Amino acid sequence: MNNSWVNSSQASTTDTTAEGGADLHLVLRGPGGVRAQLMRALRDAIGSGRLAPGTRLPPYRTLATDLGIARNTVGDAYAELVEEGWLTARQGSGTHVAPRAEPLGTGPLRAPVRTTLRRPAYDLMPSSPDASAFPRTAWMTSARRAMAAAPHDAFGVGDPRGRLELRQALTEYLARARGVRTAPERIVICAGFAHGLRLLCSLLRGTIAVEAYGLGFHRDVATETGLRTLPLTVDGQGARIEELPATRAGAVLLTPAHQFPTGGPLHHERRAAVVNWARSTGGLVVEDDYDGEFRYDREPVGAVQGLDPERVVYLGSVSKSLSPAMRLGWMVLPGWLVDDVIAAKGTREMWSGVVEQLTLADFIACGSYDRQLRRMRRIYRRRRDQLAATLAQRAPHVRVSGVAAGLHAVLELPPGTEQAALRAARRQGLALEGLAAYRHPDSTMADHDGLVIGFGTPPEHAFANALEALCLALPDGPADR
C-alpha cells in the first residue's frame, strides 16, 4: 500500500505547471497494477465528494515523485479518467476534476437536506452589544502597535496565565474602574467567561448556590462539571444571602453589579453578608461582572471582590464591552487558587490567541478601551431612554424595570400574558425571551410574567422599527381590555 500526501508547494519546485495544485491524500491498494490502483483511488475521492468539482490536481511529475511510481503511469491514469469523464484537461491550465451536479456516491456521505430557517427581523435578545459599533480603526491601530512592540518569545509557547502585558493592563484598569484588588500573578486569561467558569467549577465539589433567576448556561456549566445547583430567592435588593447557610453550598455564583435578568444591584448589606459567609465557612463567592461598566442613573457599583480578594473570584470579559467574538476573558483569583486553576487549564492549546491579548493590552493602556466604553454608554443610554419613552406613550400599563445599568430591561406584564406576548413577538419578527426562560427549575419563587429586552444588539438604524414591532406584540392594557 502506498500512502502519500501530495503538496502543491512541494510540486512547484519541480514543475511550473504545479502552481495552484491542491494538497491530495491518496491510498493505493487493492487488486490490479499501480495504474489501476491510482485510478480507483481518484474515482473514490471524486465520487465521495472529497475532491470537489474544479479542484486542480497535481502535475504528473509531482504526483509520480510523491507516490514513488513512474511519471507515465500517472499520465496514463489521468488520460483514461479524462476519457471516462472524471477529469478535464487543457493545455497550459493543468488537470481538474470535472464539473458534476453532485458527488457520485449516494450513500451515507450524501449531504443532508438543509432547511432554511426564517431569521428574525429584529434581535432583542440580551446577548451582545451592537456589532456595528466595534471600534475597528482603533483596534487595528492597537494591533499594529502591539505587533511592532511584541518580543520574539510572544510567538512561542507562552504562560498559561496569559500574556503578562494584558495581565498588567487589567490589573491597573480593574482597580481604577471596578475597585478590584489584585496583581498580575493572580489573573488568568481565558477564552471568554464560560471557559473561566468551567475551569473554576471543575475544581469545586458538591453544591453551588445560584440566583433563582439567572442565565441557564451558568447552571449548565456547573451541572456538566458534576455540581448541584440550588437557587437563592431574588428580590429588589438582589439575591437573598440569608438563604445561603441552608443550602450547605461551598460556593455561590452572583451577578452583584447588575442582577441578571431582573436588573438591580446587590444591596450593600448583602454584599457584606456574602463575604462574611465565605469567611466563616471557607466558601467561595464567584462574581460575574458581565456588564458592570454600563451604568446610567446611579453611582458606580464596585466589585464585591474588593471586599475580600481571598474569598471572591472575579470573572469578566469583553463580550459586552467590545464583542463576544473576541473570546477574551479573565479570572481574578485568590492567591491560594491560582495554581489549581492553571493545572485545570493545562499547559497547551486552551488559550486565547496571543495577537488578541497583546492588542487588548495596548487598547486598554492607550485609553481606547475607556473611550469606547464612554461612547457606547452614551449610545445605550439614548436607546434605553427611547425604549422607556416609547413604552410610556404606547404601552403605559407595562412597567419597565432594571434599566439603571446594563444592556437590557425587563418589561413587567400582567399575570398570565407572557407566553401570548412571546408568540405575538415571533409574529412581528422579534427575537426575545420571557422571564420564565431564566427561572431555576427548582425555584419556589412565585412566577413573574415579563419580557427581557436587550437594547444593545440592534444597529442604530433599526432600533426605532424594533421598538414599533415590540409595541405591537405587547398585551393590551386594562382599559383596552
- Residue 88 φ/ψ, nearest 5 degrees: -125, 150
Task: Say which CATH architecture domain 371-473 belongs to.
Answer: Alpha-Beta Complex (3.90)
pLDDT of residue 480: 52
Closest CA to 68 of 26, 96, 107, 98: 26
pLDDT of residue 478: 63
Whether the ω angle into residue 261 lies within 30 degrees of 0, i.e. cis, is yes
Per the document, the length of the chain is 481
Tens digit of each residue's pLDDT (9 = 90 or more) over 26-84: 888 888 888 999 999 999 888 888 888 988 888 888 888 878 889 899 989 998 898 88
Dist. CA 445–CA 232, nearest whole Å: 9
Task: Say which CATH architecture domain 2-97 belongs to.
Answer: Orthogonal Bundle (1.10)
pLDDT of residue 217: 87
- Contact indicator for 87, 80 with CB cutoff of 8 Å: no
Other C-beta atoms lying within 10 Å of the C-beta of residue 216 = 12
Other C-beta atoms lying within 10 Å of the C-beta of residue 127 = 16
Closest CA to 459 of 376, 391, 396: 376
The one-letter amino acid code at 264 reads: G
Q: Residue 143: exposed, middle, or buried by beta-carbon count in 10 A (0-12, 13-18, 19+)?
A: middle
* pTM given for the model: 0.78
Enumerate residue ranges in the chain where pLDDT < 50.
Answer: 1, 3-20, 101, 105-107, 109, 112-113, 115-117, 481
pLDDT of residue 447: 82
The one-letter amino acid code at 463 reads: F
- Contact indicator for 90, 102 with CB cutoff of 8 Å: no
Mention every residue, 6+ apart, whose C-beta is less than 8 A from residue 446: none
pLDDT of residue 109: 45
| For the chain, domain boundaries | 2-97, 134-367, 371-473
Q: Do 2-97 and 371-473 show the same overall fold?
A: no
Tens digit of each residue's pLDDT (9 = 90 or more) over 147-165: 999 999 999 888 899 999 9
SS (H, E, C) the chain: CEEEEECHHHHCCCCHHHCCCCCEEEEECCCCCHHHHHHHHHHHHHHCCCCCCCCECCCHHHHHHHHCCCHHHHHHHHHHHHHHCCEEEECCCEEEECCCCCCCCCCCCCCCCCCCCCCCCEECCCCCCCHHHCCHHHHHHHHHHHHHHCCHHHHCCCCCCCCHHHHHHHHHHHHHHHCCCCCHHHEEEECCHHHHHHHHHCCCCCEEEEECECCHHHHHHHHHCCCEEEEECEECCEECHHHHHHHCCCEEEECCCCCCCCCCCCCHHHHHHHHHHHHHHCCEEEEECCCCCCECCCCCCCCHHHHCCCCEEEEEECCCCCCHHHCCEEEECCHHHHHHHHHHHCCCCCCCCHHHHHHHHHHHHCCHHHHHHHHHHHHHHHHHHHHHHHHHHHCCCCEEECCCECCEEEEECCCCCHHHHHHHHHHCCEECEEHHHHECCCCCCCCCCEEEEECCCCCHHHHHHHHHHHHHHCCCCCCCC
Annotate 448-460 with b (16+ C-beta within 10 A) or e (fewer): bbbbbbbbbbbee
The CATH number corresponding to 134-367 among 3.40.640.10, 3.40.50.150, 3.20.20.100, 3.30.1330.120 equals 3.40.640.10
31 alpha carbon, distance to own chain's centre: 50
